[in-house]
Every structure is written in structure tokens, then in C-alpha cells.
Structure 1
Amino acid sequence: MDTTTANRYGLELHQALMSRTTVPPLRLREPDMTVADAYAVQLSMVRHRLQTGETIVGKKIGVTSKPVQDYLGVFEPDFGQLTSGMLRTEEEGVDLSGLIQPKAEAELAFVLEHDLQGPGLTATDVLRATAYVSPCFEIVDSRIQGWDIRIQDTVADNASCGVFILGQAKAHPRSFDMALAGMVLEKNGTLFSTSAGAAVQGSPVNAVVWLANTLGALGLPFKAGEIILSGSQSALVPVTDGDELVCTIGGLGSCRARFHSGARA
């Protein structure tokens, strides 16, 4: 895919984001589209966000579970860029009027204290560079019609980034076992799912190591202060106006996400 085509699709996806509309799957319009092509489209889409005044605040890892990898026909995770316009707080909740077809997932976020650049990094390096971890919700959203995606579509669409909420609970990653720590996800006061950190590449830190090394090989470092979403530990949760989700990670604490239509907070 040439640069002009990649930029055209990047602009199309950004316009869909801004107008809260969807577009046909890219892979059906570009049958020869590679994952590398899709990342070129992603960079173009993100560049348009930055031109509106947003800044990069971190990265996200997606497609970390084997069932999702099998569905998309890939054998490693993908990644997207987190911008300042995506960050929400527990107090404000999530305004659904700004999203298209949102679904929520619960995971662990790493907040970095030091710069980190691969390749060649280990879990020890990531732990040393991490200021703290927090439970969080990522509300994924697709600009692709009907969530009809394969790996090329979701990568191009900035890994289906929507918005995210960083929980107020904090802990140093060495203070509890991230792989064995259980997660309980409740929807409107009722148990929705349970899981453990080991569901994410054996441990959330392994997913962060993979991303740091992958981006490092491309000359893209992690920066101090950045937020790294390590990949979902829950199934996707459909959300509508009035829903409330709470995820609790053993040894760490909880994150709460309230969803509203914009008419109220």
C-alpha cells in the first residue's frame, strides 16, 4: 500500500471518529492489505488526532487472548496509541454519545516512572520502570461497520481504541502476584465474569514486555508518565445508558465505570 492510500484511509477513519459513523471494512476494499499497511493507516489516523491538539499519553495492547487471536487469524497481539482525548475519570464516567458501538473490557494499566526502550527488555526491566499499576476499563469502539473486523481492520482503526478509565487504586507491581491475582467483574451489581492475570500472555507484565520490545525495534520508546494498557482480562461487555461496571483485582483494588448518554453525569 502506498503512502497516499494509507493517508486516505487514515483520514476516512478519523472523519468517522469525529462524526460517529462507520465505514466498510478496509480488508474488503484492499484485499492485499498487510498488517504493516494497517499500521501505516493507524499512524495517519492518530496524526489527525494530534493535529487537533491531543497528545500521546500511552499505548494499548490488544488481541492478547488465544480465542481472539484465533478469530482474527493472528498469532501475536497488536497495539494502538492512547491520546489525551481518550482519558476519562471514575467521577465523570463515560459519555456514550461520543462513541459509536462501544464495548467495555477490564484490565491492568501500567504507569511508567522511567523511560523504557527495547528490544532486549525483560520483565525485570518493565517492573523497574513502572511507578505503579491500577485497575482500569478500556471502552473499545470500532469505526468499522458492525464490528466486522479482522486484524487489518482493527490495527488500522488504532486497535479499536475508544476511551479508558484509570482506577484510583494503585500498587507497585511487585507488591502482589499479577499472574495469580483474580479479577471479579460486576455489571449493575451482578457478577459478570471472573478471571486471573495469567489470562493475558501468562501475566500482564509479559504483554508489556512484548510491546516495549516490539515498539523499541521500531525506534519507539516508552516515555516516563505514559500509561500502558496490558490487555483485557475479561470478555467484552456491551454497555448502554445507565450501566455501571466495577472490576476488582485481588491485592490491588477496584475501578468503576458509569455510562451515561451525555444528558447527565
Structure 2
Amino acid sequence: MKTALVTGANKGIGLEVAKQLSQNGLFVYIGSRNLNSGQDAAKKLSAEGFENVKAIQLDVTDPQSIQAAKNLIATETGSLDILINNAGISGGFQQSALATGSDVFKTVYETNVFGVVDVTQAMLELLKKSEEPRIVNVSTSMASLNLAADLSNANYPTRYVAYQSSKAALNMYTINLAYELRDTTFKVNAVCPGWTKTDFTGYQGTSTAEEAAQRIIKFALIDKHGPTGQFFSEEYFPAPANCPW
């Protein structure tokens, strides 16, 4: 049985990703900063018939927590097939380039960028033991420089400078990671789940958590012919009708 780790998976999109991976026959570690919240999420899934899930304490901003999570997975499974870096924070709204202080940037980057780097690098040893390792970094179309550069874009009436720039940095990390792993069986991509109705957005949006999760796991389950080092946003850049993924 293949194994996956999803960070920030005790609620919202992350929980739905864990559920759908379980539906696809994977054993899923539900990464949660608060272990009790993760255990509650795992119990909820188990009650729905998804037995191959387990909560694991994982604070992506805490190196000791990351190492402990890695050690637990290494002890229990010895390897990891899929890593989905889903944990993220907004930094609060509104965010202005003129007024948002560097303290907000530091807080947002600590989770959205540095946390992803630390978790990914810690889990690489386990991922390298997989025949087809996959890494999906959850991003956003709001990090698109092309879209944001259109100052008349109706989708950007207000900018969220710390959040947007953190995800742009995440996209660049994704591309560079894929480049360095280009001669291996790794596939590394960044995926925008869409504007999703969860507590993260105040339950506003155009997508359900189920739809968002489908967009993410699509790239967690791609075969050896799938893309790597790419950013995907189905809301703004739909795949061609004959696209295999």
C-alpha cells in the first residue's frame, strides 16, 4: 500500500485530500499542528469507512515536530510515496504593499515557504525510497505574476501582498526542486485548488472542498508520463480536452 502525508489536513481542503487519497487505496497521514484536531479528523473519516488514515502531529514551523513526524513515518512504513504540502496561512486581510509590515511577511513566509522547504527536505529521504515519488505544493492563482500585473483585472480589486508573494516564492521553489530532481522518478508540481468554500475563505468561493481536492490529487497520482516543475490552475488555465492529466 502506498503512503501519503498531507500537511494541514485536519480540516478544509487538506481533510478532503486525505479522504480522496484514502479512497484511492493509499494509507494517509493526516498532518495537524494540533494532534487532537488531527485525531478528531481521523475519527471522522474512520466513521465514514476510511480506515487507512492516521493523525500525526506536525507543525511545519517547528523543526523538532517535523523531525518527529519523519521518524514516526520511517518507523511505521519505511518510505513515503506522496507529500502534499497543503498547510498555509493567509496572514489576515487586508494586506497593502504600502502599509503591511515585515512582521506579517515573516509570519506568512514561516508557514507558506519556510515550512514547505523544511518539511520537503526532511521527507526527501523517505520519498527517495518510493518507486514513483510525488510532491504537490498547494499554491494559488493569486501568485501568478501575469494575472497580478494586469492592474485592471477585476479579480484583483484588493491585493494581499504577503500571501500572494509567499505563494509566488513557493512556485519558484517548486520549479527549482523539480529541476534538481529532473533525472529521477520524482514529479513535483504546484497546484491551485481554486477559490474554495472553506473557513480559509470565509466559506466564499466558486469551488467545493471536494472539487479542490480532486485538482490536487490528480497531480499526486500522475504516472511517469506526467508533468513536473509546473504550476496548474484549472480556473484560469484549463487543461486541453485531450490532456491525460
Of structures 1 and 2, the one with the larger relative CO (CA 8 A, separation 6+) is 1
Larger strand share, 1 or 2:
1
Taking structure 2 as the reference length, what is the TM-score of the superposition?
Answer: 0.31
Taking structure 1 as the reference length, what is the TM-score of the superposition?
Answer: 0.29
Larger helix share, 1 or 2:
2
